[in-house]
Amino acid sequence: MAEITASLVKELRERTGAGMMECKKALTETNGDLEAAVEWLRKSGAVKAEKKADRVAAEGRIAVAQDGGKAVLVEINSETDFVAKDSNFLAFTDAVAQVALTSGAADVEALKAAKLPTGESVEETRAAVIAKVGENLQVRRLVRLESANNVAAYVHGGKIGVLIELKGGDAELARGIAMHVAAMNPPHIKASDVPAEFVAKEKEIELAKMSDKDKAKPADILEKIISGKIAKIVNEVTLYGQPYVLNSDQTVEQAVKAAGADVVSMTRLVVGEGIEKQTDDFAAEVMKQAGLA
């Protein structure tokens, strides 16, 4: 039997949240095999994922699954980018995205209860993966799109996910638009979608920036100057007004209209947006993962 050292017990406690005596017993029962001890604790019900639940999880991955006009994006968070690249975490996120697609779960709570091919629920499996990777993991967001139109689901680097519904056109154009949204993050699709309050505020700002000489110009001339500035601003904040990233010689609107198409909806998720992140340095992160911090 391998020696059951204090450091081995400490590492098992960090990974599972189980008590010291439980960890020592698990290691004894598994001849000092750490991975087997994690599994033993899991089977005995001693793994306490909830102990890690108050730790900030703002890294992670956007996972995607699609079948024709049905597509989902799922955001699953980890505490560090280190774990976001772990094979256990990646396998878990892929499995969750797939069951999100096939189960028809409408929200995160329903998704947590959905059964994976293993027979365990997403929530049960999450607890098991927490025990393996030693970090808090959270299934945070689920976005679903089902349409008879062209649907594109695109994920960039695991960190940015986009769903696009395109009426007309084809799958290639829909994917191109999704790539554009991932890169440029337009808040609105068309000029008509921009809130009137935003336009009014921008007019106020542009007027305040003008010189007294310009302000003294005839009202109709002044209105044309302001309208031109506002049109430029609106183009910057709308998908249709932006230069298309795959062909900067035309706007997205021109590319879409040339195909006889129209963008019906767009959704963009970014890992960790809205979560106040901790600022651990890299050395601290490595030490944490090695069980030395």
Residue 144: which CATH number? 3.30.479.20
Cβ proximity of 144 and 106 under 8 Å: yes
The token pair at 288 is 């944490």
Predicted confidence at residue 219, as pLDDT, reads 78
Residue 276: is its pLDDT beyond 60?
yes
Distances (CA, A) of 133 to 87, 215, 271: 10, 63, 19
pLDDT tens-digit readout, 201-227:
988 888 888 877 777 788 788 788 888
| Averaged pLDDT for residues 155-165 | 97
| Same domain as 132, residue 67 | yes
pLDDT tens-digit readout, 110-154:
999 999 999 999 999 998 898 888 888 999 999 999 999 999 999
Domain that holds residue 254: 191-261
| Same domain as 203, residue 177 | no
Number of domains in the chain: 3
| Same domain as 200, residue 172 | no
| Alpha-carbon gap, residue 228 to 107, rounded angstroms | 43
pLDDT tens-digit readout, 161-183:
999 999 999 999 999 999 999 99
Going 36 to 39 to 44 to 48, the CA torsion angle's sign is positive
Band (pLDDT 50/70/90 cuts) for residue 231 is: very high
pLDDT-wise least confident of 38-42, 71-75, 279-283: 279-283
| Same domain as 81, residue 172 | yes
Determine, yes or no, domain membership for 293.
no
Predicted confidence at residue 220, as pLDDT, reads 83
* 89-93, 271-275, 280-284: which is most confident: 89-93
Please state the φ and ψ torsions of residue 38, each to the nearest 5 degrees: -60, -45
Which residue carries 């829909």 as its tokens? 174
| Same domain as 277, residue 167 | yes
Residue 37: which CATH number? 1.10.8.10
| Same domain as 278, residue 144 | yes
